[in-house]
Structure 1
Amino acid sequence: MPELPEVHALVTDLGARLLGRTVNRFDVVSFAALKTFDPPVSALAGQPVTTVGRHGKFLDLTIGDLHLVFHLARAGWLRWRPDPPAAPGKPGRTALAARLVLDDGSGFDLTEAGTKKSLAIYVVRDAADVPGVARLGPDPLSPEFTMEVFAGILKAAGRSQIKGVLRNQSLIAGIGNAYSDEILHTARMSPFKPAAMSDDDTARLYEALRFTLNDAIARADGLAASELKKEKKSGLQVHGRFGEPCPVCGDMVRQVIYSDSTFQYCPTCQTGGKPLADRVLSRLLK
C-alpha cells in the first residue's frame, strides 16, 4: 500500500507531467471503483490540470473547477503511460480500473492487483466532499504538526496501542502499516505500548516519526512512479523482513499476524528481547 512518502513522490512526479496539460478523457473501467456520480466523469474532458496535491494517502488532481481524487488502497497503483493507449488486454490479477488520457495521448492508468478491490475514485467539486478526506487528522509533515499537537493526540488516545494510533487516519494522516513499523523501530518502542506515555517517550517518538517520513521522502524524491515500490522496499528496516537480521542489532525480525494485516518488529530493539504474543500462531498451536 502506498503511504505518505510514496504519495508525496507521486504528487511531484505527476505535477511535472500533468500541470498545464488538458484532459482528453477519463475512462472508468471498474465501475465499482467510482464512488461518485455527480459531477459525471465526462465533465473532466477538455479541462486543464491546474494543481496536483495530496491529503494523507489521497491524491487530488484539480481539473478545471473539479477535483479528481483517488485512494490507491492496499493493491492499487498508478502507471504512467507516455504513448496513446492500446486496447485493454484480457482481465488478469492486475486489472485496469481507470485511465486518464491527455491531449497528446499520454496519461496514466490506475490498476489494482488481486481479487479484493478497494481502490476508490471520486469526482467532486471540493476535495472535502470525499468522506475519507473530511475525516483525516493532521498531516504529520505540516508545520502545524508540532510535538505539542502530537502529545495531545497520544494523551487523548489513552491506553490504545501506539501501533494502531499511528495508523489511525482520523488521528494522523498518511501513515500506514509499513511506516508505523519503521517509526516504532527507530524509536525503539513496542507496537503494543500504550499511546499515553511520558514526555521523554513522546519526544523520542515524535522525532522518530519526523525522521522516518522525511528520510523516506528524500529517498523517493525525483523517482518515477514505476520506481517507487522497489525503493520503498529497499529502504525498510523491519517491515516485510520477517526472519531477517535487524540491521541495528542483528536479532531476528519477528512478526505478529492479524486477520487482515501483519506487522514486524525487532525484540532486542523494541521489546526488551521478549517476543510479542502472536495470537494467530498461538491458536494454531493449541
Structure 2
Amino acid sequence: MPELPEVQALAERMAEASAGRTVARVEVLSVQVLKTFDPPVSALEGRAVEGVGRYGKFLDLRTTGGPHLVLHLARAGWIRHRAAFSAKPVRPGRGPLALRLVLDDGSGFDITEQGTTKRLAAYVVTDPHLVPGIGRLGADPLGEGFTPAVLAGLAAGARQRLKTFLTDQSVLAGIGNAYSDEILHAARLSPYAIASALGEEQVAQLYTAVREVLGSAVAQAHDAPADALKSEKKAALAVHGRSGEPCPRCGDTVRSVNFADKSLQYCPTCQTGGRVLADRRLSRLLK
C-alpha cells in the first residue's frame, strides 16, 4: 500500500508533470472508483492545474477556479505518467485501469488498481475536506506542528496498542502497515505496548523514530525513479516483509504476527525483550 512517503513522491511528480497544463478530459473507466457526483467529473475539464498536494495518504489535484480531484490509492492503486496515450479507446471495466486524466498537451496520468478487490477512490469536490477520510485525519507526522508534546498528548489518551495507534489515520495521518513496523523497530518498542502506558523517554524514542523513518523514506522516494518507487521502498525496509531474515541491528530472526488480512513484523531482541509474540491469525486487533 502506498503510504506517506510514496504518496508525497507521487504528488511531487504529478505537480511537476502537470505544471502549466490544463485538464483536457477525465475518463472514468471503473464504475466503483468515482465516489461523488456533484460537481460532475466534467467540471475538471478546461481547468488549469494549480498544483498537487497531499493529505495523509490522499492526493489532491487542484484546478484554478474549479474543483479538486482527490485520489486515495488504497492497497493496490498506483499512478503512472504517460507522455502520450494510444488513440485506441479503452473499454471501461477491463483490466486494472480505473481512471485516466489527459492534459492539453496529450500527456497525462493513468490511475490503476491491481487485483479483484476494488478500493481505490476518486472524489471531485469543491473542498478536499469534504472527503470523509480527509475530514477525519489526525496530525501529519512530518508537519511543522507535530512536536514531541503533541505526540505525548495523543499517546496519553490512547488505550490502543502501538501498532494500532500508529496506523489509526484519525491519530496520525499517512502511516500504514509497513512504516509502522519500521518506526517501532527503530524506536525499540513492542507493537503490543499500550500507547498511554509509554514513559517520557519512550515517547521521545517514538517521536524520533517517526520523524527519522518517514523523513528518510521521503528523501529516498524523492530521489528514486518513478518506476522504482515500490522496489526502492521494499529494499530499504529493515523488518517489514522480512520475516525469517536476520535483524539488521542485532542479528536475531525477524518474526511475524499474522492476522486475518495483514501482518506485522518485529525483532524480539530489539523490541520485546526476547519474547516471541503469539501469532493469532484470526485476531481482530488491527481492524
Where does residue 98 of structure 1 map in the other structure?
99
Where does residue 201 of structure 1 map in the other structure?
202
**Native 8 Å contact 2:29 2:91 kept in 1:** no
Does 2:82 correspond to 1:88? Answer: no
Report sequence identity in percent: 57
Which deviations, in whole Å up to 9, do the C-alpha atoms of 1:179-234 show, x marking residues without a partner?
Answer: 00000000011000010110000001100110000010111113343221111101
Where does residue 267 of structure 1 map in the other structure?
268
Where does residue 17 of structure 2 map in the other structure?
17
CA 1:281 to 1:27, structure 2 compared with 1: closer, same or farther past 3 Å?
closer
Q: Which runs of 5+ in 1 are unaligned?
A: none
Where does residue 142 of structure 1 map in the other structure?
143
What aligned pairs does 1:229-248 form with structure 2 within 5 A after superposition?
A: 229-248=230-249
Q: Which runs of 5+ in 2 are unaligned?
A: none
Using the TM superposition, give the Cα deviation of residue 163 of structure 1 relative to its aligned residue in structure 2, in angstroms. 0.6
Where does residue 113 of structure 1 map in the other structure?
114
What aligned pairs does 1:40-59 form with structure 2 within 5 A after superposition?
A: 40-59=40-59
Where does residue 183 of structure 1 map in the other structure?
183
CA–CA distance in structure 1, aligned partners of residues 81 and 161 of structure 2: 38
For the residue of structure 1 that corresponds to 2:33, the secondary structure is coil
- Number of residues paired by the alignment? 280
For the residue of structure 2 that corresponds to 1:110, the secondary structure is strand
CA 1:202 to 1:17, structure 2 compared with 1: closer, same or farther past 3 Å?
same
Matched letter for residue 214 of structure 1: G
Using the TM superposition, give the Cα deviation of residue 266 of structure 1 relative to its aligned residue in structure 2, in angstroms. 0.8
Where does residue 171 of structure 1 map in the other structure?
171
Q: Compute the RMSD of aligned alpha carbons.
A: 1.5
CA 1:123 to 1:224, structure 2 compared with 1: closer, same or farther past 3 Å?
farther
Moved more, 169-178 or 8-17: 8-17
Where does residue 74 of structure 2 map in the other structure?
73
Which deviations, in whole Å up to 9, do the C-alpha atoms of 1:64-118 show, x marking residues without a partner?
Answer: 32100000000111111111234337966x5110000011111111100111110
Matched letter for residue 103 of structure 1: D
CA–CA distance in structure 1, aligned partners of residues 121 and 92 of structure 2: 22
Matched letter for residue 244 of structure 1: E
For the residue of structure 1 that corresponds to 2:247, the secondary structure is coil
Using the TM superposition, give the Cα deviation of residue 281 of structure 1 relative to its aligned residue in structure 2, in angstroms. 8.3
**Native 8 Å contact 2:30 2:93 kept in 1:** no
CA–CA distance in structure 1, aligned partners of residues 276 and 81 of structure 2: 42
**Native 8 Å contact 1:10 1:224 kept in 2:** no
CA–CA distance in structure 1, aligned partners of residues 19 and 4 of structure 2: 21
**Native 8 Å contact 1:12 1:222 kept in 2:** no
Where does residue 31 of structure 1 map in the other structure?
31
Where does residue 4 of structure 1 map in the other structure?
4
For the residue of structure 1 that corresponds to 2:195, the secondary structure is coil
Where does residue 124 of structure 1 map in the other structure?
125
Does 2:31 correspond to 1:63? Answer: no
For the residue of structure 2 that corresponds to 1:227, the secondary structure is helix
**Native 8 Å contact 1:75 1:112 kept in 2:** yes
CA–CA distance in structure 2, aligned partners of residues 170 and 19 of structure 1: 32
**Native 8 Å contact 2:27 2:99 kept in 1:** yes
